[in-house]
Structure 1
């Protein structure tokens, strides 16, 4: 059940980030990678690019967009048809335009304070898609660079001296509550060189341009003066710029812009779906779902409860026994005897150190009301008729631990009280989600009906 105030989960652990960076940096220095620059493409070559695959309200959808998104989708579902992908691209375009009118930016990107900025996520997705789809072409391009390596284009690595890092991040060993940069710090960061290359779009990569491409874990590494991490991030940024420049030269600015737009629209639509409870659980924080849930009437809650009683099933009580032992090895032996068919009550009388040993470890009928003890909670977690493994009690450092073996002999099930707050909350959220999904489906149908769509059938064939 949702509890207000639940903290946001961080998007990626530092360990995962470092692992990804390690792989990416290896990719930058190996000819087998898909990160590189292609020879310049002439204006005549760009002019010969295939005709658009469709027009939406008179505006083209480029073949590059369909090719890339179709191949990415087919990696997951090989039988996905190009026509289905094109239909999805068109639907996303219509819905994304409408969503920007209906929802504020902070609603669509609520996690941006801990996650990546939307444009950074978009850059990473776009370059990743291009590397995946055009890997061989990019490999051929990289082989024509000096030494066949992208990092050969790096002319200078910034020194990242302590003094200049202090000018941006302040002195070390400060208590940090917010890993962001104020305007003065941002200005100072623009004067700190991280990397210089002979590639024009990335001739000078400064600290600010790399810092703003981090999520919260990455920013922590910057504040901790992790110079290796900072340089790796700069190299990753350089690699992304090269991939995008390669695509721009090969396919043209208009085609690349259309692909970028389609990926952005895909992200926007996913955010809209989350706001409507699609692809997210009903506990997800959404102004739309909150508003619709608040409008649900008590009679609607009761009707939902009656029609979905199984969703509100609960354990009312359990009848259980336990065996307490002070030695883990002995506890494992006794548990094995119980699993092999020895009488549990007799084992409790023979081995248990608990006060109820002579009663065969009988815990009686444990009703689910009020505050349950640790042992009672443990009993509620066990399957009936199955001997639990020995479980160590949670005790303080200066207290002696013991091990509990539990057997639930009977479990009594019932239903939540239909007038309870739990039922009201769950039912109203579910009803709000259903209504939001209907509204979204209606909106999508309306947008498609009023749109002018022209399809180039020949472009769907390859």
Structure 2
């Protein structure tokens, strides 16, 4: 990514962090008094409350990375994320804002895990106190029964063993069967009965593989983790209330959505990352824009035109290390090649000549292009087939000639158009953020920011 793009990315990110002043200016002076009698509410955004729990948890989590983080900045991020996430839901398909479900966790599962993880981190001592009051002082005390998970039950869900598997998911019939298989029963109301399906759907692809492999210890462990998550969420619900917990969950979901939106706009993503938005903007880039970008960012299109190099080929690794050490100690490389190299060009001092950058380079020529001029490479084993004899190569690039990509080439067109698309997308996002903030009705409870 170019320096220009990085600066633009930072500008967008800083916008969300610096808009606190905007929020305070927009909210009339009386706004704080309007919500001051709701001490558990720190702000209203277009009439919807932001709860103190949300601000407290996200502030403490941010302070783990940066102790200087202040509440006002986090509140402003919450408000900005809420506005941007609402706008994104209207403009982008759901799958564009979520990771692939075939390999990742289901969105609601990922969110529940994130929510309980944040709560455990912030309220660790309080949770430990609550758990200490359980019989035996352990969550395990809630468990009344472990399911048998016998082979017939698992076969009914996952099919016969030793099948070639291309997809580790369950069809509707398998899902129904899995709901009737007990993994864990507890005297905790929120998890009185945990089925195989309830645990299975909370897995990513690696976890699902373990289920299909009938790893019973893993299945029971995952059920206990699910029980622990449910306990944490129930504890938080009783302490802070359903509304506050739902608001925190919503804020985490909006944070995830905004991260996806940032990626779709090229922030934190490579120029060749797949994005419908970037693809569309790149397709609209004109040839004159590509040429202008090339001339103002020539260093991004720098390339090696040719190298002048020598090499030493040896038949075993030990001798290669010894010769490499001599070269590093300052022995003449050409003389070492004449004395030790087994390559046909040994008597020419291993001279590879001037290697021009052409369509197809040999393995050894590619190796030379990878080396820094004037530095002897370590011994590198040749890439050969299993039944071929390997050698070890030591390479010294004596001179490297740099140049630039052809400005009319497809490579320049592709890279420049993607970079220009990123810059345009980032400017669009920055403008959108400012517009959303300007049209929003934001009320801040200033007293809540001080507690």
TM-score (ref. length: structure 2)? 0.91
Distance, in Å, in 2 between the alignment partners of 1:234 and 1:285 is 36
Matches within 5 A, 1:308-387: 308-387=297-376
Instruction: Could you tell me which runs of 5 or more consecutive residues in structure 1 were left unpaired when the two chains were aligned.
Output: 2-47
Q: How does 1:100-179 map to 2 (within 5 A)?
A: 100-179=89-168
C-alpha distance in 2 between matches for 1:112 and 1:398: 42
C-alpha deviation, 1:327, in angstroms: 1.8
How much does 1:307 deviate? 0.6
After superposition, the C-alpha distances for 1:346-395 in whole angstroms (9 at most, x for unaligned) are 11001100000000000000011121101001101111000111111122
1:180 lines up with 2:169 in the alignment:
yes
- The runs of 4+ residues in structure 1 deviating greater than 2 Å are 48-51
Shift of 1:51: 3.0
- Give 1:110 deviation, angstroms: 4.3
User: Structure 2 CA distance, aligned partners of 1:65 and 1:433?
Assistant: 32
Aligned-residue offset at 1:402: 1.1
Q: State the secondary structure of the residue aligned to 1:342.
A: coil
Pick the structure with more helix per residue.
Answer: 2
1:302 is matched with 291
Q: 2:42 aligns with which of 53, 63, 71?
A: 53
Could you say which residue in structure 1 is the equivalent of 2:438? 449
Q: Distance in 1 between matches of 2:363 and 2:213?
A: 41
1:243 has 2:232 as partner: yes
Looking at structure 2, the residues matched to 69 and 95 of structure 1 have their Cα atoms a distance apart, in angstroms, of: 18
Cα drift, residue 49 of structure 1: 8.1
Query: Could you give the per-residue CA deviations for residues 37-90 of structure 1, whole angstroms, max 9, x where no partner exists?
Result: xxxxxxxxxxx9833101111111100000000000010011011000000000
User: Partners of 1:460 and 1:50 in 2: how far apart?
Assistant: 11
Contact 2:309 2:395 in 1 (8 A): yes
Distance 1:423 1:223 in 2: 48
Work out the number of aligned pairs and report it.
Answer: 416
Tell me what 1:30 maps to. none
Aligned to 1:45: none
- Tell me what 2:25 maps to: none
* Cα displacement string for residues 324-355 of structure 1 (whole angstroms, at most 9, x for unaligned residues): 01121111111111111111001100110000
Could you tell me how far apart the structure 1 residues matched to 2:273 and 2:221 are? 35
Q: How far did 1:112 drift?
A: 2.0
1:412-461 Cα deviation digits (max 9, x unpaired):
10011111111111111111111111111111111111111010011001
The match for 2:417 is: 428
Is 1:458 equivalent to 2:441 in the alignment? no
Q: Name the counterpart of 1:283.
A: 272
Measured in 2, the distance between the counterparts of 1:194 and 1:427 equals 55
Q: Does 1:216 align with 2:210?
A: no
Q: Does 1:274 align with 2:248?
A: no
The equivalent position to 1:199 in structure 2, one of 182, 188, 195, is: 188
Q: Counterparts of 1:268 and 1:234 in 2: how far apart (Å)?
A: 28
Show CA shifts across 1:247-302 (max 9, x none): 00000111101111101100011111111111211121111111111111111111
With 49-58 and 256-265 compared, the bigger mean Cα shift is at 49-58
- In the other structure, the counterpart of 1:5 is none
Alpha-carbon distance between aligned partners in 2 of 1:328 and 1:253, rounded to the nearest angstrom: 67
Partner residue of 2:386? 397
CA distance in 2, matches of 1:68, 1:261: 13
- Whether contact under 8 Å (1:49, 1:251) holds in the other structure is no
Q: Contact between 1:160 and 1:194, CA under 8 Å: does it hold in 2? A: yes
Deviations 1:176-235 (CA, angstroms, capped at 9, x unpaired): 111111111110110011111110110010011111111111111111111111111111
Pick from 85, 109, 132 the counterpart of residue 74 of structure 2. 85
Higher relative contact order by CA 8 Å / sep ≥ 6: 1 or 2? 2
Distance 2:143 2:40 in 1: 37
**Aligned partners of 1:51, 1:158: CA distance in 2, in Å?**
42
Deviation for aligned residue 1:409: 0.2
Contact 1:66/1:86 (8 A) holds in 2: yes
Give the Å deviation of 1:397: 2.2
Distance 1:424 1:221 in 2: 46
Query: How far has the Cα of 1:396 moved from its partner?
Result: 2.0
